[in-house]
Chains A and B, each alone.
Chain A
Amino acid sequence: MGATDFSYIIDTFFALFAMTLIIFMVPGFAMLEAGLVRTKNVTAVLTVNTMIYAVASMAFLLIGYTLAFGSWENDSMSKWAAFLFQMAFVGKVINIMSGGVSERVRIIPLTIFTVIMAAVIYPLVVNISWGADLLQGTVLDLNMYDLAGSTVIHSTGGWALLAAILIIGPRKGRYADGKVKVIPASNIPLVVLGAFILWIGWFGFNGGSVGSISSKENADAVALTVMNTNTAGLAGAIIVGILMYIKYRKFDITMILNGALGGLVAITAGPDLYDKYTPILIGAVGGALVVFAVPFFDKLKIDDPVGALSVHLVNGIWGTVAVGIFASNPQEGITLMGQLKGIAVIGLFAFVSSFIVLFVINKIIRFRASDEAQVEGLDVNECGLEAYPEFKRAI
């Protein structure tokens, strides 16, 4: 076995391992969301999460992958592994948006949107950033550095979520008489489990995005990436713990975990570019942004039960800007302007295209569950199966 064969095999194995970690984020999202919603909507949330993985991955296999990359050929690893690694991301993009519309979204229109997102919208975003680059040579050609997708994945999902919330509206009773009515989480242990599964999945998400581990340099790059990813999560959790205590004299675990995830999103654009200390700052800013973004969106009556906008959209943007601030390197084509341009072009495309598609679907099949269905719970109305049938229903 030659050295080339060896690196082909190792990199294939690495991609499959990273892909497995990323798919482990499916139950991560599912548990996080199941814990943050009321018990009467838990089965519906879990069903949506399951459907997204199946439908989005299938659409990416049949259409999206070719649209994004132009071809399946790959010399450095098994092309099947290269596909699977990319496929692992597509469900995440839609997972990011589905949580924010939970407790009032119906499954059928959301599934239809999933097909279009995974087959067309997200693949086009990948095409102009990591993929075949159909904008090459035009003024819109992007030279943004985004290793694992702060913009390409997290803010793309975030923009789609913002469009969806604007169309679907808040949960019934969330903003009554101009006041914010708190709807507390139903299962904090599940929230913790889900958030930590996501955290672990991130090591595959970012580490795998280095693309190769078969040389000494690449192995170092992967290890640095995973270390920096973890550091940003730690910093996000710590800063939110401190800020919540200063602001409210209370520790809110759901916010602390959102802070950790915010830090993880923020580091995702360039975890391989920083020294070992910069991610502390990037993650801490990411966490702090979550503390201020959550009440900010509430003030605008943008109802996001899981904080996905604060975590993924706000920090997707921050993480991409952070690369321009902390790791700008004009010789390698990394500049603050390039980063901002990437955020603007992809943001505009993701928001406008999602909005149009959501708007059209909404005209045909309404996204929003009726008031009665929301009162009774989507478990009964959408799934016919309650998550906790033996428990007394929460008021």
Chain B
Amino acid sequence: MKKIEAVIKPFKLEDVKDALTEAGISGMTISEVKGYGRQQGHSELYRGAEYVVDFLPKVKVEVVVPDSEVENIIEKIVESARTGKIGDGKIFVTDIEKVVRIRTGETDEEAL
């Protein structure tokens, strides 16, 4: 099993969710995060003085999928989250050792 973490633009969340649901993903966890990559921050103006906003609002989507699904899911996320402009985000994939469904005690792929 792998965990796929995608940091995306907040307004793309609905598109990504729809794409993942269509691909058969039955659950996901999202969190509001802040960060920057190559796009850096941007400057704003307050009472006549400029200041830099370093961290831009992003949404992090986390899903855990069977190994066989990884490439497909990554593709879906890339398709649905891409705008072509800087700041579209990144996808990170990590190994997952164990999953337990709390209600039933099922483990691993049965618990996804």
Contacts and interface: CB of A to CB of B under 8 A. Distances in A.
Interface of A: 180-182, 184-185, 244, 247-248, 250, 252, 254-255, 291, 294-295, 298, 307
Contact of B50 (A182, A254, A291, A307): A182
B24 interface: no
Interface stretch (B15-23, B41-49, B78-86, B97-105): B41-49
Contact of A185 (B46, B49, B50, B51): B46
A185 B51 CA distance: 13
B49 A252 contact: no
- The interface residues of chain B, by DSSP majority, are classed as strand
Contacts of A248: 45, 48
Contact of B49 (A180, A244, A291, A307): A180
Contacts of B44: 184
Given A181-B51, A248-B48, 5 more contacts: A244-B48, A247-B48, A250-B45, A255-B47, A294-B48
Nearest to A181: B51
Contacts of A294: 47-48
A294 B44 CA distance: 17
A307 B47 contact: yes
A184 B50 CA distance: 10
A280 B51 CA distance: 33
B48 to A, nearest CB: 5
Most chain B CB neighbours (cut-off 10 Å) among A184, A255, A295: A184
A308 B81 CA distance: 46
Contacts of A291: 48
Contact of B45 (A185, A252, A298, A307): A252
Contacts of A180: 49
User: What 7 A-B pairs have minimum CB-CB distances, sorted nearest first?
Assistant: A182-B51, A295-B48, A250-B45, A184-B46, A182-B49, A182-B46, A248-B45
Nearest to A251: B45
Interface in B4-58: 44-51
Contacts of A298: 48-49
B45 A295 contact: no
A194 to B, nearest CB: 16
A272 to B, nearest CB: 33
B44 to A, nearest CB: 8
Contacts of B45: 248, 250, 252
19 contacts: A180-B49, A181-B51, A182-B50, A182-B51, A184-B51, A185-B46, A247-B48, A248-B48, A250-B45, A252-B48, A254-B46, A254-B47, A255-B48, A291-B48, A294-B48, A295-B48, A295-B49, A298-B49, A307-B47
A252 B46 CA distance: 7
A76 B23 CA distance: 83
Contacts of A244: 48
Nearest to A183: B46
A247 B47 CA distance: 12
Nearest to A185: B46
A182 B47 CA distance: 9
Contacts of A181: 51
A192 to B, nearest CB: 15
Nearest to B44: A184
A164 to B, nearest CB: 20
A295 B48 CA distance: 7
A255 B49 CA distance: 11
Contacts of A295: 48-49
A89 to B, nearest CB: 28
A267 B46 CA distance: 27
Nearest to A292: B48
Nearest to B34: A395
A307 B49 CA distance: 13
Nearest to A395: B55
A181 B48 CA distance: 12
Most chain A CB neighbours (cut-off 10 Å) among B44, B48, B50: B48
